[in-house]
Structure 1
Amino acid sequence: MLTRLCLSLFLMLSPALPAQPAPAAVTDTAQARRYLRQAASLIARADTGQARDFLTAAQRYSERENFPEGLAQAQLLRGNLHFTAQQYPAALAAYDQAAELLGRLPRSQRLNGLGLAALGSGEALFYQGQMEAGMKRFFQGVNYLQAAGNYPKLLACYLNIASYYHDLNQPDKARRYITRALALRPQLPDQRGLLPAYNLLAMLHIRAHNFGDAAQALARGRAVRATSPYDVAEQHRIEGIYYFETQDFAAADQHFRAALRYLEPQGNPVHLAQLYFALARTAQRRQDYAAAQRYYLRSEQQARAGRAAQQRYFTLRALAELAEQQGQTATALTYFKRYKAAEDSTQESTTKQAISRIESQYQVQQKEQQILTLRQTQRAQAAELRRQQTVNRGAGAVLLALLCAGVLGFTTLRSRQKIGRQQQLLQAQKIQELQQERQLLASEAMLRGQEEERSRLARDLHDGLGGMLSSVKYYLGSVRSAVVLPEPSAQLFTRSLEQLDGSISELRRVARDMMPEALLHFGLTTALQDVCDQLGQSRPLRVQLQTFGLTAERLPQRTELVVFRLVQELLNNVVKHADAQSVLVQLSRTDDQLQLVVEDDGRGFDSAASHRGVGLRSMQARVDYLRGALDIQTAPGQGTAITIDVPLAAPAA
């Protein structure tokens, strides 16, 4: 769950205006603007009833005056209204309608509104659990709001992106966007919006056990005046996590309770589930098992109400462990069964992947059956043709006596033979097409299976082995601080910890390479930039990425994934074999063509002698799957340039 989500208010607040008909001297446009300002003020005070009335009036005046900007602003505020009432599907629909209306305005008038619509719809998607779609909207919002110079809302976009990376356990990327958020400080009208940035920065330091840096970030946050009850609650919650991790459970409990006082009136079940869970863990560590059970039950109830499946899963597991800790075997078994049922529900995506694999296999079998049927039909037609030829020969002997009839029979025979040959050619062509389609389906099933296995192994490495190694590192760190070792042993102990750090970093790198989350969430350009940056940082190799024409809508997901794997494979070949100083990765897109060029200044090779290699055959198989063309230009001592052209008109996903 996100650490912080920012509810956007799209218009500046203004003093309340009386809800009365406009004077005759006031134009419809001016009256629409007044009603919009009044609605924004009412939404800020959570007065949804009157706000809805003002929005209806503003929309009526805007339609009467044909005022498209007013109609768009009314939809933006209507999205805010639904968001405040936690009606997220309705909010998303209103934001999308606002974006459609804004698209009809001149560029100078639509940038800020489109940014606000993207920010609001991204938050609505997040609260519905559609994280990837929400992130796409946030990045759109960054582009619009940066161009419009709306720095407070640009700050909100950066914080949402950083929060998502934090939840994905990618602290480096989360810290990158927090840094961008804090860099907006000079452009902000006041510093109140920076409080979530300090809170999230503190969370990153806490998770990394950098408690001194976490304390500094919390202190900076306390120096900023909170703007809402939720901001105050969030500050107390993170203070509680800090004290919990530093083993001061009394202080942690105090801050969690303070956060609860601010959150309970808001009534958000997801946030309440998180906070009750934190209170339960604290009570359990203080050996107050009755309070722990009470808070766990409240957390499970709120998680169920908010449809927070993962939080409910964690809470049921904690209830089972708590009951077992108290010797309540029957109760523990009950919670354990419910926990396993919740765990099974989290495997739905895995089940869908398995169904997808089965469906691909079924399609391949169907194509094979069609090929078999067509071959049988072709053989039957050939037999029929031979029979007709025999009959026609006999008839020809009789018809030779009659010249006119003979000529007619001969013409008919030739015509039938020609038609038969054409039918055979068509059948053979159809069989060839089906065989190619079967090969494509088989390749797709193979590639999908490879990617699913990569994802499974990456999760096992990251969540399983990675978590175990991190725990070992934490325990060893505790031992080092608690035990005084002789100098040689202390040096050996330190080197061991450094090697363990390196092992954890390497394991995470392998997991990232196997499961390209950046590709799935943010697109091909971002994912390739990450690959190039990581390679350039880890090797004495200058890696440059150039992209052209990729700012429009994304490519099909399967095409993006195959191109991403091709770039990975080509760069790995450069590192292993080329002995190059620099490499250029260039990806360009036109309306119906995608071209990938990877060029290095390395030693090159004899392409004629290397076509038998496994690596090139694997690369060729991926290119064939995309129905593309592969060209290799190289010679010993002259570097290598590999060009891959992929037609976009033929879908590869």
Structure 2
Amino acid sequence: MRKKIFLKMMYLLCVIADSNAQTLNKDSLLKLLPATKDDTVKVQLYIDIGNQYEPEDPEAAGKYYLTAGKLSRQLHYKRGIIKYIASYTGVLNVKGAFDSALVLNKQSFQIAKELNDKSLMARTLANIGNSFNYLSEYDSAIYYYEAAGRYFEDMGNKYLLARMYEMKQLVYQNIGQYKHALLYGKLAANELRASGDSIDLGRCLLNLANSYQSNNFPDSAFICYKEALAISQKTNFISGEIACLLGIGNIYFHKYDADQMKPYYEKALIKARQLADPQGQLVALRGRALYYFLKKEFDKAKESCMASLTLADSLGTKYDRYESMQVLSSILYAQHDIEEGEKLKDKIQLLENEIRGDELQQKTIAIEKKFETEKKETQIKLQQSQLKQQHILNYFLIACAAGLLIISLLAYRNYKHRQKLQQSKIDELETEKQLTATEAVLKGEERERTRLAKDLHDGLGGMLSGVKFSLSNVKGNLLLTPDNAQAFERSIDMLDSSIKEMRRIAHNMMPEVLVKYGINVALQEFCNEIDGSGAVQVSYQCVGAGDAGIDPTIAVTIYRIIQELVHNSVKHSGAQNALVQLHISIQEKLLTVTVEDDGKGFDKNQLTAAKGMGWNNIQNRVDFLKGKIDVHSEPGKGTSVLIEVNI
């Protein structure tokens, strides 16, 4: 007789749930609720309260999870919706509402995709796999565990990758594909050893030992059970300890080593009673019955087996009842109670048929559910297709309206642009007209100045010089009284002063030095004259390669501008010092003029309201040269004028 005691240990994952441990109890969390604003913190608070309620009152926990979901939707807090679904589906699984949990988990995955968060996508895929596992749709469960595992592998999260290996191991173990189960069990154990998580490693080794036993590798199973037992004892994982003790006892039973198997079943029974674990107790009692059976103490074996049957009946687990009845049947035959043994055999056959019927019914229900699910999915796809078509039509209409709007806007923009271009052309022509008029005025002014200077110098100057010469000659032929001689001399002096003043005026109107020697020499002489007059101390500086290449018109205009600026400093600023700088750059083809003084300065806003001719003349001349002018002045801080002209 080689009967196996097989203990299922399935730990379905809810890997998306937060791992942050709550340090506050339920009452403390509830006190925080009224004072917390309706934000993301309150969403987490609802979930934390639900976590506290869930072990004892899943219904209350579900209400808090639903509230968290409702608030998350109001806040458009997508991560909060995912957290709510991860927690609430745990409650649905307890109720057996696996279909509803599956729908929510699929919604959670879609939200994770919208967030483009690979970690959340992987975790929600794992939860979908759990839902299919509960629904006994193992092929779909494997598919989603595999998909989640790929994400975890890409992210380098070896721990969660190991959990996916574990889940695939349990699925393959459950459907009887023990070789696949053993393969993934080994992969999971290797990854968990690397992560150093002893609690998870202990559980994983326990499942791996079960797979070794299923593949008939008792020695390897024994090693895994021993290591898992040591970890469970170290971490106080009593359920794991019970499972390991039962597994080791089962290995010794298959070796028919009664003395070695007894202490493990006895320890398992004690631990199961301490933990109030009826499942563990009935398996341990069945193991003890097998011990007594091997020792040929059939009455004690029967007593332990009957106790195991009683627990199986109370739990309503048909498979455990079937296993215990098989052991009891062997005991009855060993006691030579053939009649009771045969009767029990008949009951075992009926129970086996019932179990098979249940399995067939479950498969039928699963097929029907799958068919209904596919039918619903087809309807959903049809509705989605219709909705998509409607959306496409709406988008087309919106696109048409947008196109018309864009065309209208473009037409209006084109009209405004053409209008702007026309206005720009008008402004340009107006500016050109003003510049032409200014140029004509300035050229006419310079011609008139030149003519007047020439007339004064050559005409009136010559006449006055002739008069002076005649009077000087007459003086020697006249006999004058001392008083008349003195008056005559004063007249000669006044005539001499008039000649000098006339020449000065003629020179200012058109400096001969400007025509002969250029702007640099002319400005040097002008500044020396102003400095010599004592009105203002004027310093002149010229930087550059020379002014030989400057157009005469530009030179004359610049000279007039500097004249006007220096006269303004003399007349209006009250300055004591002034600086005139001329910078000529032949390479850059740029002429720069700077005129500064330390006078009383003025508010620059006054320039726009200036009514005098001086500033207007300066501005007109700069515009005529198509130059730039920059004025810096503040009351009490002097004035600086910078002019740039292309040459």
Q: State the TM-score, normalizing by the size of structure 1.
A: 0.46
